[in-house]
């Protein structure tokens, strides 16, 4: 091993850890960090496809990396390690038409430095080209790629894949969509468009950028493959860029974060400045590497491509276009979801028996937590009042089936700092009885002297909370009101907000079978759920999951360019669904091909006046 020395300052932006990107689900992070002990049997995820996955980890060569294959729920279905050449072989069984993310974690392995010099984030030690950096000096660094297993029942599929910094960037950009049910064509489309965002943000000229997919390219190992002159100039350039990331390994996280921030807020000046700095820093290191004689680069096309990219910088008009194409391609990036009405929401209904609020379920009964939603989190209902007052009494109705072992009443004047006023499980309750619906009715006397503008019911992490009503009294009623007048004379809040809502309109963008939207019951009005997209697009397919007995009356899919004037695209009839099935909970799963050639910014599920609509999933696609 070559000589190395220690320095005290990083070359540019300090960031001691390459944590997982913002869009990477936090529960998945914990899965990655906590599930590294023990072995997973081949074929743990049973199915009709046997997948043989041959892969390698290149940043340069990464030895003894912990490699995991995860399904769309974040569950680890295979685990192993890369060998001394950075290679691994994974074999598992699965059902067809599935997306899998492959993650390589470096903490227990070692990474070969393939930049002119590499700075270990945790030790600030400088390693030279070709040295191996211990993973325990790198922090929680992870590289990723993704594959799609096609519809080949009872077939053996051999797949080769290389995990590198370029594939990591594409997965980070696409991460929110990789946890959803996509077709093979959609997976190909969004990873290609994510690849275009990466190459444009690097200032690279790509002849056919729309067909380039960075998940499918095998990059050269700059250390082992000393000469890259006979390699395609674009692949060689990407290999040099991949190598340059080793100079400051934390820069890859900064790159991911900046791309995500720009994608959500393209006018954000800080994101623009970050991307410009990252692009320049990356390509400067590439040019240093080219001129260092550590790598033999004689092909003038490669040199020119890198020099042009450095001098050109980022064309933000081109990057904006690439971002817009990506947004439309997903067909899954709503900027707003709203409905005609909701039920069981934080609707301030004053009467007992008029269902009030059901929090999101952190897991299905009898199952393991759902990785898409489910780090355990607190649940709460917050009531905001026009002015502070001294509350003397609280009345609540809570389901005995869905309640918390630790439930508190709290007060605040800024909505941030909360003071405990009562513990529902230890307080001396004036009333405590359970009705025939298994709802417990509790009246609590508060013993405090502060006036608060906000009061809330707060529960520590639990499966779900089912709260029927909550009334806050400044002057307790005497005598106690009848059951159907529970909240008479209570202070009326100006707004009510909740931590989560099992029947909120936003739930229809999540295929989780335990979250839905439910319209008002028997409103006498038309009922609808509307999605506004960031850009207009031509929807050619819709997927719907709706309660078979509560689809609505004359249900239709409609489009609009202004959110006011609507055109019927198709009706939800009995004979236009493809791959239709009804599950054991009575939900109808329906895919409809749309005879539509017009681009709309708004789409909605619409019903004429009906008893109520119960919708689990509603999504439009452009291909």
pLDDT digits (tens, 9 = 90+) for 161-197: 999 999 999 999 888 778 765 667 778 888 998 999 9
| Residue in 132, 175, 159 with CA at minimum distance from that of residue 32 | 175
Q: What's the residue count for the chain?
A: 623
Residue 526 has pLDDT above 60, yes or no: yes
Residue 276 has pLDDT above 80, yes or no: yes
- Rounded-to-integer distance, Cα 159 and Cα 54, Å: 6
8 A C-beta contact, residue 418 and residue 410: yes
- Rounded-to-integer distance, Cα 36 and Cα 563, Å: 49
Residue 349 has pLDDT above 70, yes or no: no
Of the pLDDT bands very low, low, confident and very high (cuts 50, 70, 90), residue 259 is confident
Same domain as 191, residue 173: yes
- Structural domain ending residue among the three candidates 500, 530, 561: 500
| Residue in 395, 616, 350 with CA at minimum distance from that of residue 496 | 350
Residue 455 has pLDDT above 90, yes or no: yes
Same domain as 357, residue 310: no
- Decide: helix, strand or coil at residue 55: strand
8 A C-beta contact, residue 203 and residue 279: yes
Which of 210-224, 304-318, 373-387, 530-544 has the lowest average pLDDT? 373-387
Most confidently modeled of 96-110, 337-351, 509-523? 96-110
Same domain as 386, residue 286: no
Q: Among all chains, which residue has been given the structure tokens 């050639």? A: 597
Give all strands of the β-sheet with 600-608 in edge-to-edge order.
334-339, 527-537, 600-608, 553-560, 567-571
8 A C-beta contact, residue 119 and residue 7: yes
Of the pLDDT bands very low, low, confident and very high (cuts 50, 70, 90), residue 160 is confident
Phi then psi for 327, rounded to 5 degrees? -60, -45
DSSP structural state of residue 64: S
Percent above pLDDT 70 for the chain: 79
- Structural domain ending residue among the three candidates 446, 469, 500: 500
Residue 4 has pLDDT above 80, yes or no: no
8 A C-beta contact, residue 534 and residue 335: yes
Q: Which residues contact 614 (CB under 8 A, 6 or more apart)?
A: 516, 517, 518, 519, 546, 547, 550
| Radius of gyration, CA atoms only, the chain | 28
Query: How many domains in the chain?
Result: 3
Same domain as 94, residue 140: yes
User: Quick one: angle between helices 233-244 and 300-312, nearest 10?
Assistant: 60
- Supply 557's token pair: 């899919």
How many C-beta neighbours within 10 Å does residue 123 have? Answer: 15
Same domain as 414, residue 520: no
8 A C-beta contact, residue 189 and residue 327: no
pTM above the 0.85 mark?
A: no
Same domain as 549, residue 572: yes
Indicate which CATH number applies to the domain containing 565.
2.60.120.260
Phi then psi for 238, rounded to 5 degrees? -65, -35
Q: What is the pLDDT of residue 478?
A: 65
Same domain as 520, residue 465: no
Same domain as 232, residue 312: yes
Q: Which residues contact 70 (CB under 8 A, 6 or more apart)?
A: 28, 31, 76, 77, 100, 101, 102, 103
Q: What is the pLDDT of residue 168?
A: 93
Same domain as 394, residue 258: no
Mean pLDDT for the chain overall: 79
| Residue in 501, 566, 202, 166 with CA at minimum distance from that of residue 359 | 501
Q: What is the pLDDT of residue 18?
A: 32
Residue 486, sorted as left (phi over 0), alpha (psi -120 to 50) or beta, turns out to be: alpha
Q: Among all chains, which residue has been given the structure tokens 């080769």? A: 160
Same domain as 276, residue 250: yes
Residue 77, domain extent = 5-329
Strand partners, 620: 542
- Supply 206's token pair: 């790509």
Pairing of strands 49-57, 156-163: parallel
DSSP structural state of residue 548: G
DSSP structural state of residue 215: T
Same domain as 91, residue 201: yes
Indicate which CATH number applies to the domain containing 385.
2.60.120
Same domain as 381, residue 462: yes
Q: What is the pLDDT of residue 34?
A: 27
- Supply 597's token pair: 């050639």
How many C-beta neighbours within 10 Å does residue 160 have? Answer: 12
Residue 5 has pLDDT above 80, yes or no: no
Phi then psi for 444, rounded to 5 degrees? -120, 130
Q: What is the pLDDT of residue 363?
A: 39
- Structural domain ending residue among the three candidates 500, 518, 537: 500
Residue range 71-97, pLDDT digits in tens: 887 889 899 999 999 999 998 887 767
């Amino acid at each position: 091993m070559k000589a190395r020395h220690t320095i005290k300052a990083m070359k540019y932006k300090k960031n001691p850890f390459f944590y997982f990107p913002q869009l990477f689900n936090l529960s998945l992070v914990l899965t990655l960090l906590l599930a590294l002990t023990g072995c997973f049997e081949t074929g743990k995820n049973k199915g009709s496809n046997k997948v043989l996955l041959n892969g390698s980890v290149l940043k340069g060569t990464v030895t003894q990396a912990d490699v995991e294959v995860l399904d769309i729920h974040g569950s680890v279905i295979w685990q192993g390690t890369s060998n001394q050449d950075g290679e691994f072989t994974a074999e598992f069984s699965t059902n067809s038409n599935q997306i899998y993310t492959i993650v390589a974690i470096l903490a227990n392995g070692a990474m070969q430095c393939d930049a002119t010099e590499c700075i270990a984030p945790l030790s600030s030690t400088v390693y030279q080209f070709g040295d191996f950096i211990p993973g325990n000096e790198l922090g929680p660094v992870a590289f990723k790629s993704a594959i799609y297993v096609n519809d080949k029942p009872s077939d053996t599929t051999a797949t080769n894949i290389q995990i590198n910094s370029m594939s990591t960037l594409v997965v980070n950009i696409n991460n929110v969509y990789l946890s959803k049910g996509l077709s093979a064509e959609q997976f190909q489309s969004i990873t290609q468009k994510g690849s275009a965002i990466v190459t444009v943000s690097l200032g690279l000229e790509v002849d056919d950028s729309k067909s380039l997919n960075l998940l499918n390219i095998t990059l050269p190992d700059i250390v082992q493959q000393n000469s890259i002159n006979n390699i395609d100039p674009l692949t060689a350039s990407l290999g040099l860029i991949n190598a340059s990331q080793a100079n400051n390994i934390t820069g890859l996280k900064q790159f991911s974060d900046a791309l995500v921030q720009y994608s959500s807020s393209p006018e954000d000046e800080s994101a623009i400045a970050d991307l410009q700095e990252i692009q320049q820093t990356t390509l400067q290191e590439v040019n240093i590497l080219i001129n260092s004689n550590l790598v033999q680069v004689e092909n003038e096309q490669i040199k020119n491509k890198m020099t042009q990219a450095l001098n050109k910088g980022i064309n933000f008009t081109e990057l904006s276009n690439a971002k817009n194409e990506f947004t439309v391609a997903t067909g899954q990036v709503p900027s707003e979801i709203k409905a005609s009405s909701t039920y069981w929401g934080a609707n301030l209904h004053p009467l007992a028996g008029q269902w009030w609020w059901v929090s999101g379920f952190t897991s299905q009964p009898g199952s393991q937590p759902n990785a898409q939603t489910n780090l355990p989190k607190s649940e709460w209902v917050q009531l905001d009042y026009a002015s502070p007052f001294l509350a003397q009494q609280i009345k609540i109705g809570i389901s005995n089936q869905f309640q918390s072992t630790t439930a508190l009443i709290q007060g605040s004047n800024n909505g941030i700092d909360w003071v405990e006023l009562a513990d529902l499980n230890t307080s001396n309750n004036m009333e405590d009885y359970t009705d025939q619906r298994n709802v417990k009715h509790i009246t609590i006397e508060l013993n405090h002297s502060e006036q608060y503008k906000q009061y809330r019911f707060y529960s520590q992490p639990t499966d779900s909370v089912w709260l029927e009503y909550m009334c806050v009294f400044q002057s307790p009623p005497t005598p106690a009101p009848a059951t159907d007048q529970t909240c008479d004379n209570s202070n009326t809040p100006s707004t009510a907000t909740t931590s989560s809502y099992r029947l909120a309109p936003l739930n229809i963008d999540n295929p989780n079978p335990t979250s839905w939207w439910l319209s008002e019951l028997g409103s006498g009005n038309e009922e609808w759920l509307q999605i506004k997209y960031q850009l207009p697009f031509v929807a050619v397919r819709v997927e719907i999951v709706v309660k078979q007995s509560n689809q609505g009356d004359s249900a239709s899919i409609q489009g609009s360019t202004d959110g006011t004037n609507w055109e019927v695209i198709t009706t939800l009839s009995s004979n236009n669904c493809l791959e239709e099935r009804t599950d054991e909970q009575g939900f109808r799963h329906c895919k409809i091909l749309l005879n539509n050639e017009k681009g709309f910014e708004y789409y909605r599920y619409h019903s004429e006046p009906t008893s109520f609509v119960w919708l689990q999933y509603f999504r439009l696609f452009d291909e």
